[in-house]
Structure 1
Amino acid sequence: MSVRNDFSRIFVQFVEECQASGLEIDQNFAYFYVHLLARDARLGLRHETGDNCKLLQLKQNAIQLYKNKTDPTMCNLHMTYCFRNFREFNINHLKEIYEESFQTKMQALIAGILQYPETSNDKQLDEMLYKIQVFIIASYNIGDPKNHVLLKQTRQSLKSVLSHGDLQNFVLKKRYHRLEYLQRLTATVCGILIYNNCDPNGERENMRDILTDIQMAKTNTREALEAALEDIEHYIATGIEAIGNLIQVDTKEKKVRCKWPIEKVREINKYVILFSSYEKLLKNIVEAFEKTEYLVSLDQKKMDCIIEKINEILKYRTAIESQLVFPHFKYLSHLWTSLLLSLSHLAELNRLKEQLDEYVSEEIKENFRKLLKITEVRRKVVKKELLTTFGELMERTNKAHPVMTSLQKVTLNFQNYCALSLALTNGLLTPALLTKKLCEDSKFRFGFANIEYAKYAERYFEDFIHTLKTAIYTSVDLILLFGLADVILQKDFVDERKKRRGKQVSASGTQTEMVVVNDLTPSNRINVAWNKWDFHRETIHLAYIRKLQTHAQQTALSFGTMNAQNESLPFGHRTN
C-alpha cells in the first residue's frame, strides 16, 4: 500500500478526529501538517509503504503532537505555515489587497457623487461638492474627513481647480466620463494639498504628517528586529554549545563519543532548530524591511524634487496654464500613495513578527533553559562515555527510505552547519567553520567543522551523501529548517493529480540528483577528475577521425553538383 495513496484518507481522519475532540483545525494547515509529519522517521512512516497499523500510529502521533502546543516541532510547523501564508509580506500583494479593499469601501461614496442628474440645482451641486471633498480626503487618507479645517482647505484647493461652470459641465458628462474625471480631479487636488502642507507656514496639524509616521515606524521596526535577533542568537549559541559538549566526532577512530544518549540530545536539538528557523524568518523580514526603507528614501527624494520643480514654476508667474503644473500635482499624489503603502507594509511586517513571536514565547524559552539545566546535571553523573561507530550510526539512519533525495532546493543556511555531524548523528546541529566542494561536477558546497571532517566526507563520499540526504528528508524539523517543505508539498500535489488522472506514478523521486555519480573504477572513486592522459588520447583519436574526412567543396566538385551561390556549374563543366 503506497503512502501517498493514503495521504487523503489520513488527512480526512485527522481532521474528523480533531473536530470530534473539540480542537480548532484549519483545513489547509492540516494538509500541510499531515504531509510533512508523514516524512518524519520517528513520528511518521520510515518507509514508502505502510500497513494499516502504521497508518493508525501516524494518525495518533499527529493528534498527540497537535495537542501539545509547547512542543518545539509543533511550534516550528505553525510558525513556518504562518510565514508562508502571510500574503502581506510581499508589498505587491499588499498593494493588490489594499486596492481591492479601497474599491469596496469607496463604492458607496462614488455612487453618491455620480447619482446627481443633469438638471441638478445649486443646492444639489453644493451637496455634490461636499461629497467630493470627503472623497478626496478619504481616497488618499490625508486626514480626518470630519476635520472642518481640513475640509475648508480641501474646498479652497478644489475651487482653484473646479469652477462653478465646470461643476455644471461635470454633471452633464456621461457616467463613465464623470468617474474618470473625478479620479483625475481627486489626484490633482490632493497634490495641491500635499504641496501646501510642505510649506513651512502651512497648518500641519490638520493634515497627516506621513513622513514623521514613516520615520517613527522605521525606528520602532528596526529596534524590534535587532532586539529579537540578538536574543535568539544567544539561545542558538547556548544550545549548539550544549550539543558540542555532549557529542564529539572522531574521524580518526571513526567513532562518535557521547556523554549523553543521542536521543536525549535530540530534545535540545529540536529547540535549536526552532530558534534557527525563527532566526531565518526574522532575517527574511529584515530583508523586506530594508527594501521598503530604500523605497521610502527614493519616494522622499522624488517628492523633494517635484516640490522644488513646482516652486520654480510658480516663482515668477501669476497665471499658469494647468497643463504645465497639474501633472506635477498628480505625481505628488502618486508619491503620497506610495508612501502610504510603504507605511502599511512596515505595519504588516510588525504584525508578522508578532505572530511569529507567539510560537517562540517565553514559555518555550523557559522550557529550553530547564532542559539545559537537567541535561547538565545528569551529564555530570554519567562518567563513562558512550562510543558508537560511524557504521552503526549510518545503518540506523539508512533504515528509513525517503521519497526524495535531492539537495538542490536547500536554502543557504544549510552551509552554516557541519554536514558530516548532521549525517552521522541523524540531524544534530553543529556549526560549520568552512565550506568545501566535494565534487568537481557540481557547484554545491558543504559546511564542515574542520578540514579533517571535509577530507573524511570526500573520501567516503557515497556513504556520506546517502546518509546526509536520508537524515534531512526523514526529519520534519530539518525539512522546515532548510526550506524543503514547499518542494515536498509540490511533489505530493503532482502525485495526487497524476493518480486522479489514472497515470502510474513512479516510486522514485522526481528531482535530479545533486551529484553526478563517478563512473571510474572502484580504486579511483576518491578522485572525481579524469586523468589528463585520457584527454590527450581522446584528442588524438578525434584528430585522426577529422583527418580522414573530406572537405565539403571537394565532395561537391567530385560529384558535379551545382554551385549554390551563383546557380551555375563549376569551372570545366560548362555546356554549349
Structure 2
Amino acid sequence: MILNEALPATSGDMDASLRRTQGLAWRYTALLETLAGGEEPAGESDPSPVLLRQALYNVRQHEALLKVLLVGLATEERKADVGLCARQVETLQSDLASRLLILKEAVQSKTAVATALVFPHFTALARLWSGLQDEMVLLNVQEAVALGLQPFLLAQAQRFPPTQLDLLLQGSEVRSDEQRMAETAEERVDVKVGGQQQWLFPETMGNFSKLPLQYRGMCGFSLASRDGLLLPGNPSIGVLMHRDKYYVFSSRAAAEAFSSSPEEFVSRVAERARRCPELIQLLELHRQFSGATPYSEMAPGETLLVKAVSKSDGSTQTDTHLLETNLVTTHQWNEWELRRQALKLANLRTRVTHSTQTNLSHLRRDNVSQTFPPRDAACQTTRGSETNVPQPLVYLAGLRGRQGDPVVKTNLTTPVDDSA
C-alpha cells in the first residue's frame, strides 16, 4: 500500500533533518563555550555571540518540534507522532486482512447470503478503511509541518555556512548531548551540602524518567550565569525540587550553585527570557509569561498555562420554577360543581348557532386608506425684463450749398431722464 511506502520515507526524512539540526546545535554550543572561555576561535573574523545564541535558540526549537513529530506529545489521551502512525497503520491492515478472510469464509460460493450475516462485516470493513484514510491525512499533515520547518533551518545555514563553522571550530571539541551526559554520569549532588533543598535521584523515585523538567531539560544555571548558553541537564546528577518544580543541571557545581539561591537564578532566567522572547516558547516559560501563551484553553495533560482572561460584569437570569408544574387549575373537589359543569356541557350540546345576512351587511368590509397631508411648497423661476433707452437723433444742416458755409449740428436725442 501507499502508506507502507510513505511512512518509512517520511520517518527517514525527519530523522535525517533531526540529525542535521542536532549537529548544528552541538557545533553552536561548542563555539559559544569557546567564546565564553576567553579563547580566540580560529578564522579571520570573530563571530558575533548574539547571532550565535540566536542561531542556537533557533535550532534547539527546530529540534524540539521535530521530536514532537517523531516521538509525539507526552499526553495520556493521544499521540500524533510518526511512530504511532506506523503502528496504527500496521494494526489496521492486519485487522482488515482478517476481516476480509472472515467475510470470504462467510460468503464462499453462495448466490444469496442473509443480510444479518454479512452486514456487520461490511460495517467493520468500512470503519477500518476510514481509519486508513485518516492515517493518510495525518501523514500528509505531518509532512506539511516538517516541510514548513525547513526554511528556518536553511536561514541559519546561510548565516553560518558549514565551511565557516569548520574553520571556526578548528582545534575545538564538539560534544553531543549524549557525550556530555556520559561525562557527568558519575557526578552526584551531596544532599548534606544542599541544605534544606529536596533532591530526587533515579534510585529513590519510581517514575523518575517522567518528571516534568523545567526549561525543557536545560541547565538553569548556565542560562543565568553563562549569558544564556543552552546546555542539556543530566538528571543523574540530581533533580532539584523547588516549589513543586523540577530542575536539572549540566554539572555538580552548577547544581550546588543553583540550589544555594534558586529564586535568584529563576528570576535571572526570566529576565533573560524578557530580552529574548523566543526562549518563552523554547523553555516553556508560560507560567512566568501567561499572556504570551498561544493557546486559548488547556487540554488535559498539557503543561501550558491558560491565557489570562480579563474580568467582565455578567448577569444570569433563572426561571422562578425550574421544573414543570403538575398543578391542574381546573380541578374541582366539589361533587356538585362537577355536576353543574356537566349540565352546562349537556345544555350546550342542544344549542344551535344561527346566522342572518341582510342586504346592508352583504360583502361589507372596512377599508382603510392612508394619505399624506398637503404641504406648502414654493419654487422660484426667472422672469423677463427690459429697458427702454433713448434713440439717438442728430440732424446736420449745411452739407449742401456753397463752399465755405458752416455746417450746423443739431442733437435732438431725448434725455434719459425724460424718456419716461
TM-score with structure 2 setting the length:
0.52
Structure 1 stretch 223-232 or stretch 412-421: which is displaced more? 412-421
Match of 2:54 among 270, 275, 278: 270
Q: Which residue of 1 aligns with 2:36?
A: 247
The AA in structure 2 aligned to 1:367 is R
The answer (yes or no) to whether the contact 2:58–2:152 under 8 Å persists in 1 is no
Q: Which residue of 1 aligns with 2:277?
A: 476
Residue 285 in 1 paired to residue 93 in 2?
no
1:39-188 counterparts in 2 under 5 A?
none
Q: Which residue of 2 aligns with 1:358?
A: 151
The AA in structure 2 aligned to 1:489 is A
Residue 436 in 1 paired to residue 238 in 2?
yes
Compared with structure 1, are the counterparts of its residues 496 and 331 closer, same or farther at alpha carbon in structure 2 (3 Å cutoff)?
A: closer
Query: Which secondary structure does the structure 1 equivalent of 2:232 belong to?
Result: coil
Structure number with larger C-alpha Rg: 2
Distance 2:133 2:82 in 1: 15
Question: Which structure dedicates a bigger proportion of its chain to helix?
Answer: 1
Q: Which residue of 1 aligns with 2:17?
A: 228
Give how far 1:412 is off.
Answer: 4.8
In the alignment, structure 2 segments of 5+ residues that lack a partner are 73-80, 173-210, 297-306, 315-420
Q: Which residue of 2 aligns with 1:184?
A: none
Q: Which residue of 2 aligns with 1:497?
A: 310
Compared with structure 1, are the counterparts of its residues 366 and 263 closer, same or farther at alpha carbon in structure 2 (3 Å cutoff)?
A: closer
Residue 308 in 1 paired to residue 101 in 2?
yes
Query: Which secondary structure does the structure 2 equivalent of 1:319 belong to?
Result: coil
Q: Which residue of 1 aligns with 2:392?
A: none
Compared with structure 1, are the counterparts of its residues 365 and 285 closer, same or farther at alpha carbon in structure 2 (3 Å cutoff)?
A: same
Compared with structure 1, are the counterparts of its residues 285 and 425 closer, same or farther at alpha carbon in structure 2 (3 Å cutoff)?
A: same
Residue 367 in 1 paired to residue 159 in 2?
yes
Compared with structure 1, are the counterparts of its residues 415 and 352 closer, same or farther at alpha carbon in structure 2 (3 Å cutoff)?
A: closer
Query: Which secondary structure does the structure 1 equivalent of 2:157 belong to?
Result: helix
Give how far 1:357 is off.
Answer: 0.7
Residue 344 in 1 paired to residue 137 in 2?
yes
The answer (yes or no) to whether the contact 1:430–1:449 under 8 Å persists in 2 is yes
Q: Which residue of 1 aligns with 2:191?
A: none
Q: Which residue of 2 aligns with 1:425?
A: 226
Give how far 1:492 is off.
Answer: 11
Match of 1:455 among 253, 256, 259: 256
TM-score with structure 1 setting the length:
0.39
Give how far 1:259 is off.
Answer: 5.8
Distance 2:264 2:285 in 1: 22
Q: Which residue of 1 aligns with 2:326?
A: none
For residues 230-265 of structure 1, give each alpha carbon's deviation from its aligned partner in whole angstroms, at most 9, with x where no partner exists.
1111111111111122224xxxxxxxx6769x9942
Distance 2:295 2:62 in 1: 26
Q: Which residue of 1 aligns with 2:178?
A: none
Distance 1:480 1:417 in 2: 13
The answer (yes or no) to whether the contact 1:448–1:454 under 8 Å persists in 2 is yes
For residues 344-395 of structure 1, give each alpha carbon's deviation from its aligned partner in whole angstroms, at most 9, with x where no partner exists.
211121111111112222x431312377478669x9xxxxxxxxxxxxxxxx
Distance 1:492 1:281 in 2: 16
Compared with structure 1, are the counterparts of its residues 429 and 491 closer, same or farther at alpha carbon in structure 2 (3 Å cutoff)?
A: closer
Compared with structure 1, are the counterparts of its residues 227 and 495 closer, same or farther at alpha carbon in structure 2 (3 Å cutoff)?
A: closer
Give how far 1:490 is off.
Answer: 4.8
Compared with structure 1, are the counterparts of its residues 371 and 412 closer, same or farther at alpha carbon in structure 2 (3 Å cutoff)?
A: farther
The AA in structure 2 aligned to 1:331 is A
For residues 418-476 of structure 1, give each alpha carbon's deviation from its aligned partner in whole angstroms, at most 9, with x where no partner exists.
2111111342212333453334653x332222111111211233322332333234421
The AA in structure 2 aligned to 1:350 is E
Give how far 1:294 is off.
Answer: 2.0
Query: Which secondary structure does the structure 1 equivalent of 2:231 belong to?
Result: coil
1:195-234 counterparts in 2 under 5 A?
212-234=1-23
1:9-28 counterparts in 2 under 5 A?
none
Distance 1:425 1:290 in 2: 37
Q: Which residue of 2 aligns with 1:397?
A: none
Distance 2:291 2:97 in 1: 49
The AA in structure 1 aligned to 2:238 is K
The answer (yes or no) to whether the contact 2:220–2:249 under 8 Å persists in 1 is yes
In the alignment, structure 1 segments of 5+ residues that lack a partner are 1-211, 249-256, 380-409, 503-576
The AA in structure 1 aligned to 2:157 is K
Query: Which secondary structure does the structure 2 equivalent of 1:429 belong to?
Result: coil
Compared with structure 1, are the counterparts of its residues 474 and 296 closer, same or farther at alpha carbon in structure 2 (3 Å cutoff)?
A: same
The answer (yes or no) to whether the contact 1:421–1:430 under 8 Å persists in 2 is yes
Distance 2:107 2:169 in 1: 76
The answer (yes or no) to whether the contact 2:62–2:149 under 8 Å persists in 1 is yes
Give how far 1:229 is off.
Answer: 0.9
The answer (yes or no) to whether the contact 2:239–2:248 under 8 Å persists in 1 is no
Distance 1:327 1:497 in 2: 52
* Identity across the alignment (%): 19
Query: Which secondary structure does the structure 2 equivalent of 1:430 belong to?
Result: coil
The AA in structure 2 aligned to 1:414 is Y
For residues 473-513 of structure 1, give each alpha carbon's deviation from its aligned partner in whole angstroms, at most 9, with x where no partner exists.
44212112123469433599966733x769xxxxxxxxxxx
The AA in structure 2 aligned to 1:458 is S
Q: Which residue of 2 aligns with 1:488?
A: 291
The answer (yes or no) to whether the contact 1:243–1:268 under 8 Å persists in 2 is yes
Distance 1:411 1:310 in 2: 48
